[in-house]
Amino acid sequence: MKRSNLLSLILLIGIGLFGQSLFVIEARLSELVTGVHGMADIIGRATPPDLSSLADIAWPALETLDIALFGTVCGVLMAIPFAVLAARNVTPSRLLYFFARSVIGLTRAVPDLIWALLFVTAVGLGPFPGALALSVHSIGMLGRLFAELIEDMDMGAVEALTLTGAGRTQVFSHAVVPTLLPSLLGIALYRFDENLRSSLVLGFVGAGGLGFHMLTAMNLFQYREVSTLLIVTFLLVVGTEQISAALRRLTA
């Protein structure tokens, strides 16, 4: 089959898949247009923002930031050993390889929202279950990316150290880590950005932070406070993105 015919076939399949998705999700654009006035009404009630509540928002904002920080750091620390076991070129055995891949796949397949619900039932409401949920979910996301980095790395330094009689721990600390450290840090910072956004959603299931306060304000129809929470969320996300980008440039 010619390349042009193959591309045309792929395009037709893509159009067909998109068409069936419109049917499955019951897309009704006319209702969206007629319902714009309801959205406008909520926006009108949310303005101007209630800036008097800023003092009460400071602590939830710190909780949100710390949930993401805890989840990222713990996720990285737990993902690294699983990534080593899940990399074909450095894993000590095939059994450990499949075990690590299974753990990485499971923690990635289960959404962080489900992990949060499980941990809420275990330790109660608050920021701790949200931080635990992000930690576990980060194992799957980071473990897979770290394992692929290790599999694609230049094995020259590893082979050289192995020939000198160095053990696995020495090979990892003196060959693997120095080679991959900039890439590992970059991925970890990207994951922190994702965890910050996820921590906001986890608040809707009782995991604390800005998300929990936003849900409470919405349930009480305090839309001006909701708009203030959204502004603080925007500033928090943009600020951490800028800091993460600066750190990635330093480690590149």
The predicted-structure confidence for 136-150, as pLDDT tens digits, reads as follows 999 988 988 888 888
Which of 18-27, 98-107, 189-198, 228-237 has the highest mean predicted lDDT (pLDDT)? 98-107
Q: What pLDDT is stored for residue 54 in this prediction?
A: 76
Q: Which domains does the chain have, with CATH numbers?
A: 71-251 (1.10.3720.10)
CA distance 169 to 149: 18
The predicted-structure confidence for 33-74, as pLDDT tens digits, reads as follows 777 777 787 788 778 887 777 777 888 888 888 998 999 999
Q: What pLDDT is stored for residue 4 in this prediction?
A: 73
* CA dist 69 → 74, 75, 248 (Å): 8, 10, 16
CA distance 137 to 148: 18
Average pLDDT of the residues of the chain: 82
- Higher-confidence residue: 186 or 181? 186
Which DSSP letter does residue 89 get?
A: T
* CA dist 58 → 167, 213, 214, 233 (Å): 49, 11, 13, 11
* Cβ neighbours, 10 Å, residue 32: 10
* Cβ neighbours, 10 Å, residue 241: 14
Asked if pLDDT for residue 123 goes beyond 70, the answer is: yes
The predicted-structure confidence for 87-104, as pLDDT tens digits, reads as follows 888 788 889 989 999 999
pLDDT cut 70: percent of the chain above it: 88
* Cβ neighbours, 10 Å, residue 110: 15
63 in Cβ contact with 208 (< 8 Å): yes
- Token look-up 């713990």 returns 74
25: left (phi over 0), alpha (psi -120 to 50) or beta: alpha
The predicted-structure confidence for 195-222, as pLDDT tens digits, reads as follows 888 888 888 777 778 888 888 888 888 8
